[in-house]
């Protein structure tokens, strides 16, 4: 199948933000008497948009607060963090963007996160010019693991699912890409390595391995 575009997830794939998201949730939940463990975060919330996480947290821990209030508290924590700087890029991310662009591939970011976080990442690393479009959780009614964000990306890019390869670090992201019919390369992190990546095109260790995989698809390996 031809390869014309690479669709990057943001958190955990393009940027190393999941540890910070875990710390934010710990801080947000502490006033409600919840001590969220890393195991709980990994199992239930890594790669899950804030709103969906909040709904589950309220139900799971029987909190006396509504999901909307919890979501806004987490969003506020993220805004405060981003006012001080961007999340760090994942190792090899800049090199991957450069190589994919030199290969003539179209690049996009497709994320369940807010547009603010993505804009901050691209602006801080002078990457805005390299990405044809950004689809965030703000752009769709149903975020990952629903396929809506990927379907919107295909529409904006004017490409078919067969033209694209998604890069994702979580099971929820993989489900979203596959739900849109898009091949997906899984790049597990320390926080998502126990996720189920069945259905992935392949599972690789980090961005440098993803670059090697893409080279083989392009016949450059």
Residue 137 pLDDT > 80: yes
- List C-alpha distances in Å: 221 to 135, 190, 213, 218: 30, 27, 8, 8
Could you give the CA distance from residue 119 to residue 96 in angstroms, rounded to a whole number? 19
Other residues' Cβ atoms within 10 Å of the Cβ of residue 151? 19
What count of residues does the chain have?
A: 221
Q: Are residues 66 and 124 in the same domain?
A: no
Q: What is the pTM of this model?
A: 0.89
Q: Are residues 28 and 100 in the same domain?
A: no
Q: Which residue range is the domain that position 127 belongs to?
A: 5-16+87-218
The answer to whether 195 and 177 have CB atoms below 8 angstroms apart is no
Active site residue 11: yes
Domain finish residue from 52, 69, 84: 84
Phi-psi region of 143 (alpha: psi -120 to 50; beta: other; left: phi over 0): beta
Q: What is the pLDDT of residues 160-211, one digit of tens each?
A: 999 999 999 999 999 999 999 999 999 999 889 999 999 999 999 999 999 9
Question: What pLDDT is stored for residue 1 in this prediction?
Answer: 66
Q: Which two tokens stand for residue 98?
A: 């450069």
Q: What is the pLDDT of residues 11-67, one digit of tens each?
A: 999 999 989 999 999 999 999 999 999 999 988 998 788 999 999 999 999 999 999
Count structural domains, the chain: 2
CATH number for 128: 3.40.50.1000
Q: In what order do the strands lie in the sheet with 183-186?
A: 133-135, 106-110, 5-8, 164-168, 183-186, 202-203
Question: What pLDDT is stored for residue 220 in this prediction?
Answer: 84
Q: Are residues 132 and 150 in the same domain?
A: yes
The one catalytic residue among 9, 148, 163, 169? 9
CATH number for 62: 1.10.150
> Residue 148 — very low, low, confident or very high, per pLDDT cuts 50/70/90?
very high
Q: Are residues 27 and 118 in the same domain?
A: no
């Amino acid at each position: 199948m031809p390869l014309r575009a690479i669709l990057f997830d943001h958190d955990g794939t393009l940027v190393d933000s999941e540890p910070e998201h875990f710390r934010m949730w710990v801080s947000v939940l502490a006033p409600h008497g919840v001590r969220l463990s890393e195991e709980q975060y990994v199992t239930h919330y890594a790669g899950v948009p804030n709103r969906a996480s909040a709904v589950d947290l309220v139900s799971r821990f029987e909190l006396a607060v509504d999901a909307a209030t919890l979501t806004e508290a987490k969003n506020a924590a993220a805004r405060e963090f981003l006012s001080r700087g961007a999340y760090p890029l994942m190792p090899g991310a800049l090199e991957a963007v450069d190589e994919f662009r030199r290969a003539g591939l179209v690049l996009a970011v497709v994320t369940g996160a807010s547009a603010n976080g993505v804009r901050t990442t691209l602006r801080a690393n002078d990457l805005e010019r390299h990405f044809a479009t950004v689809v965030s959780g703000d752009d769709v009614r149903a975020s990952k693991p629903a396929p809506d964000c990927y379907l919107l990306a295909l529409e904006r890019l004017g490409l078919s699912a067969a033209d694209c390869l998604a890069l994702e670090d979580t099971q929820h992201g993989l489900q979203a890409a596959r739900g849109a019919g898009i091949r997906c390369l899984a790049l597990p992190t320390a926080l998502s390595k126990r996720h189920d990546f069945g259905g992935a095109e392949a599972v690789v260790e980090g961005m440098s391995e993803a670059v090697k995989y893409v080279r083989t698809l392009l016949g450059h390996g």
